[in-house]
Structure 1
Amino acid sequence: MGLFDWLTNRAKPLSQMTRSELRRQELLLQKERDRLLTRVTDLAKRKQEIFERGSREKTPEVRKALASQFELHTTEQLLLSRQLNIRTKECLTVGRLRMLRESAERAAATGSRLGLIGEKDLLALEKLIENDAVTSEMYQQRLDDMLAVGGEPAQELTAAGRQVLDIWEKVDTGLIKNAEEAFDEADRRVRDLHKAAE
């Protein structure tokens, strides 16, 4: 069931939920997202094991069977990755709406109309969620723009987070071959940035 179906077919639409109901839904979505992430990670490990086994195997029939199994796991991983992308965007949506609800409750004392979400906004969000070409980062930016969450802090990566991504990229490209060396370098860079900030 897509977010729009869930929004419109439930007894209480997402836009009318209280802050605590939104938090409960957010936790459920996070749990589902974490489950999908674990499955994708497990599939990646199994694919690695199959590939290593195939590289050691010399029998053509066994290699064909392993190649078929590798392909099957890749297909499953791609399908789960799509679901993971959707759950991540749904989780972002519910989280942002919860933050808007909190802001609206604080603003209610001053008579502000902050945080009101219309049906048109929900339709636009549904289209973004279902579009596989829209990554969670792009979705987060569009969601923030659409919901005008200018006062909320952005959840983009800090300089330290970008350093960790840089190390992973170097591992992926083979510039750093040892996993322990990569971890030590990432840890050192993050610590250096924290020391510089103090």
Structure 2
Amino acid sequence: MNFFEWLVSKRKTLVTMDASELRAQEMLLTSERDRMLARVQKLAADKQGIIGKGAKEKTPELRRTFAQQYDLLHTEQAMLMRHLNIRSKELLTVSRLRLLRESAQRAGMRGGAMGMIREGDLATIERLIENDRISMEMYQERLDEILRIGASADEETAAVSPAAAELLQVWDAMDHGLIKSDSEAFDEAERRVRERQRATE
């Protein structure tokens, strides 16, 4: 059962979840994503080990056995990578919406449009998540458009330059564990700034 099916079965959707509920779901998705990532890394290490064993083994029968093991591991890894991509998109969706809800609450806009999402948008998001051809970067861009993050920037980013606003978002992602290291944060900030510059050229 995927994330959106779970929401439907529980009669709770992103439209009706408040910030605390979104935070709880974010933690669950983070845990599941991390478990998948650890398994993918383990499979990659096992595949590398099989390659080393096969290189040392000269018996054709044993080499075929190693090759079959490698193929099974590769198939499992490919399937997990697809699910990992989906979970990462789901996590980003919940995190983005939670941040908007919290910003709306801080601004006293509980009943306003900020931090809300329409049912039609939710259906669009689900299709984007399930589409394997949509990379994480492409999904992030489309999600930001749907949630209108750029158009509804809150008071924390309204008084800074676009590049500085991107860096503030990166730091916020670090605060919530979505970015793990300074080097990863630097790469992400640089990528966002370059994309923004290309968009204005």
TM-score (norm 1): 0.75
How is 1:114-129 mapped onto 2 (pairs within 5 angstroms)?
Answer: 114-129=114-129
* 2:77 partner amino acid: Q
Residue 131 of structure 1 aligns to which amino acid in structure 2? N
**8 Å CA contact retained: 1:107, 1:113:** no
Offset, 1:160: 4.0
Task: For structure 1, list consecutive stretches of 5 or more residues without a partner in the other structure.
Answer: 163-198
Following superposition of structure 1 onto structure 2, how do residues 184-195 of structure 1 map, counting pairs within 5 Å? Answer: none
2:19 maps to 1:14: no
Matched length: 163
Q: In the aligned structure 2, how far is the partner of 1:76 from the partner of 1:27? A: 25
SS at match of 2:107: helix
Matches within 5 A, 1:1-198: 1-109=1-109, 112-150=112-150, 151=153, 153=166, 154-155=169-170, 160-161=186-187
Runs of 4+ in 1 over 6 A off after TM superposition: 156-159
8 Å CA contact retained: 1:90, 1:129: yes
Return the index of the structure with the highest Cα Rg. Answer: 1
Q: Which amino acid aligns with 1:161?
A: D
CA separation in 2, counterparts of 1:159 and 1:29? 21
Partners of 1:88 and 1:102 in 2: CA distance? 21
- Matched AA of 1:92: L
- CA spacing shift, 1:113–1:14, aligned 2, 3 Å: closer
Q: 1:111 to 1:81 in 2, by over 3 A?
A: closer
What SS is found at the alignment partner of 2:122? helix
1:53-74 superposed Cα distances (whole Å, 9 cap, x missing partner): 1011100000000000001100
Change (3 A) 1:148 1:24: same
Contact 1:33 1:88 in 2 (8 A): yes
Q: Distance in 2 between matches of 1:77 and 1:111?
A: 44
Change (3 A) 1:63 1:126: same
In structure 2, the CA distance between the partners of 1:18 and 1:35, relative to structure 1 (3 Å rule), is same
TM-score, scaled relative to structure 2: 0.74
Q: Deviations over 1:119-162 (max 9, x none)?
A: 00100000001001111111111111110112374549879427
Q: CA separation in 2, counterparts of 1:159 and 1:87?
A: 20
Give unmatched runs, 5+ long, in structure 2: 158-165, 171-178, 189-201
Native 8 Å contact 1:3 1:126 kept in 2: no
| CA RMSD, Structure 1 to Structure 2 (Å) | 2.4
Corresponding residue for 2:198?
A: none
- Deviation per CA, 1:86-108: give whole Å up to 9, x if none: 00000001001101111221233
